[in-house]
Chains A and B, each alone.
Chain A
Amino acid sequence: MAEAVIRHWVETPVRYQEQFALQELEAHKLDHSLYALPGPSTAARGNRRCTAETTAEAGKSGQEEENTGFQVLLDVVQFRPEDIIIQTFEGWLLIKAQHGPRMDEHGFISRSFTRQYKLPDGVENKDLSALFCHDGILVVEMKNSVGKN
């Protein structure tokens, strides 16, 4: 662990590298999830490595997602975190978002939507984690421990 060099895919500026080397990297996990967003280059690469090691064949991206777990991305730029309710109900994942009249550049707007996704078999409420990224993308995915097991 101590010898391992962890290089972030968002390059750390050189002037901060020494500072990061001294500190515990685990302590920055939360910051990292806020600023370095789960984009294609983290998740997709990780998945690709996993599948390459286990099955030693490269499949389509959709299949890779199926192998590793369940992930849902949703564009909720117009909503605040407190407007969103995530529920599971009989094998379905419900994402409800609603906000009342708000003033914008053209007057007032209120919106609401409900989105449903079918969960894979055996996936329960406690297996899921949700992340509201600062650029307005909501990520609901299976927790890492569950996905690996």
Chain B
Amino acid sequence: MAARTVPHAYPMSSEYEFANPSKIYDQNFGEGVSQCEILAPALYHGYYIRPRINKQLDRGTSEISLNEHKFEVFLDVCHFLPDELTVRTVDNLLEVMGQHPQKADRHGFISREFTRTYILPLDVDPLLVRATLSHDGILSIVAPRTGKEIKARVNEVKITQQEQPVGKEEQSGEGKEKKEP
């Protein structure tokens, strides 16, 4: 069920573009916070937030860069080792999975698991997807775009009209008139 999630928003409207920034931040999860890292609350857009020191703003990002020739995704997977990651395509969905067993960090022990699904553009061949993991833990996934607009296959369906026999039509018409009052 989870392996075949079907997107319900079709990426073709301007609303979709505005609602979907190319880069999203703060996607690392399960991180411990120590008391001394939290600063006093500040009002931000009407909400109290607590700014933090040592917060790595450039980590935990997911970026989609899309141009005429290629579709490219940069995902920060710095908590995972190369053999703990899986990248696969299911139809036009690009799935990145990561799972690491329990390990120690500076706050305690943690095990993590995630699945992130991207939607490939229509003109990307899922078989040409290439993934590279950089030394600082950023996974880059590239696929060439053919640039061809997918043509809508139009097929005119001929409507055949059914003709009713004249005698039957009259009978049914009379019947209705009688029943109505």
Stretch at the interface among B24-32, B148-156, B165-173: B24-32
CB contact between B113 and one of A43, A65, A73, A113 (< 8 Å): that residue: A113
Within 8 Å CB of B108, what residues of A?
A: 115-118
> Considering only CB atoms and an 8 Å cut-off, how many residues of chain B contact the other chain?
44
Stretch at the interface among A13-21, A24-32, A50-58, A96-104: A96-104
Within 8 Å CB of B118, what residues of A?
A: 106-107
Within 8 Å CB of B19, what residues of A?
A: 105
| Size bracket, chain A contacts | 35 or more
Q: How far is the CB of B44 from chain A (nearest CB, A)?
A: 9
Distance A22 CA – B19 CA, assembled complex (angstroms): 46
Cβ-based interface call for A76 (8 A): yes
Q: Write out, one digit per residue, whether chain B residues 78-103 have a CB within 8 A of any chain A CB (1) or not (0).
A: 00000000000000010000000010
CB atoms of A109 and B113 under 8 A apart: no
CB atoms of B5 and A78 under 8 A apart: no
Q: With CB as the reference atom, state the residue of chain A lying closest to B94.
A: A107
Within 8 Å CB of B2, what residues of A?
A: 100-101, 110
CB contact between A135 and one of B36, B49, B107, B114 (< 8 Å): that residue: B49
Distance A37 CA – B118 CA, assembled complex (angstroms): 36
Cβ-based interface call for B111 (8 A): yes
CB within 8 Å: A-B pair count: 128
Distance A84 CA – B125 CA, assembled complex (angstroms): 39
Q: How far is the CB of B97 from chain A (nearest CB, A)?
A: 9
Q: How far is the CB of B35 from chain A (nearest CB, A)?
A: 6
CB atoms of B34 and A73 under 8 A apart: yes
Within 8 Å CB of B29, what residues of A?
A: 75-79, 97, 111, 113
Distance A100 CA – B2 CA, assembled complex (angstroms): 8
CB atoms of A107 and B116 under 8 A apart: yes
Within 8 Å CB of A105, what residues of B?
A: 19-21, 24
Distance A92 CA – B148 CA, assembled complex (angstroms): 57
Q: With CB as the reference atom, state the residue of chain A lying closest to B116.
A: A109
Q: With CB as the reference atom, state the residue of chain A lying closest to B26.
A: A77
Distance A124 CA – B119 CA, assembled complex (angstroms): 46
CB atoms of A39 and B32 under 8 A apart: no
Distance A137 CA – B50 CA, assembled complex (angstroms): 9
Nearest 3 A/B pairs, CB to CB: A113-B30, A108-B117, A73-B33
User: Can you add 8 more A-B contacts, CB < 8 Å, to A104-B24, A108-B7, A109-B114?
Assistant: A37-B50, A40-B35, A40-B38, A73-B34, A105-B20, A113-B29, A113-B110, A114-B110
In the assembled complex, 29 residue pairs joining A and B whose CB atoms fall closer than 8 Å, in A order, are A35-B48, A36-B41, A37-B50, A40-B36, A61-B35, A75-B29, A75-B31, A75-B33, A76-B30, A101-B5, A104-B24, A105-B20, A105-B24, A106-B62, A107-B117, A108-B117, A109-B115, A109-B116, A110-B114, A110-B115, A113-B110, A113-B111, A113-B113, A116-B102, A116-B108, A116-B110, A117-B108, A117-B109, A137-B50
Residues of A that sit less than 8 Å from B by CB: 9-10, 35-37, 39-41, 43-44, 61, 65, 71-79, 97, 100-101, 103-118, 134-135, 137
